[in-house]
Amino acid sequence: MSVHQMTVAQLSNPEDKDKLLKIIRECSDAMTRMSGEKDYIKEAVTDISDELDIPKRLVNRMVKVYHKQNYDEEVAIQDQFQTLYETVIK
């Protein structure tokens, strides 16, 4: 795989510079929002975990499964894991 070489001269057009800067700023703003959302999720999971005395690990897993809407897949994987573990380890 070759590395594409570019020169600063390729961005001599002010409109191209503005387009690139706009995208950089928009992506940076999106990253800031993502960071804030991650903080919210972490705090919300911690709060409900403490309030209901449910391990954070389980709450996080429930949140992820709900988001992905893949409960059946998770159950199947757990069943496979349990069977394999019992076959190999026990």
Nearest partner of 61 among 71, 51, 52, judged by Cα: 71
pLDDT attached to residue 65: 97
Distance in Å from the first CA to the final CA of the chain: 48
DSSP code per residue over 3-64: PPP--GGGG-SHHHHHHHHHHHHHHHHHHHHHHHHHHHHHHHHHHHHHHHT--HHHHHHHHH
Per-residue model confidence as pLDDT tens digits over 31-68:
999 999 999 999 999 999 999 999 999 999 999 999 99
Average pLDDT over residues 14-37: 96
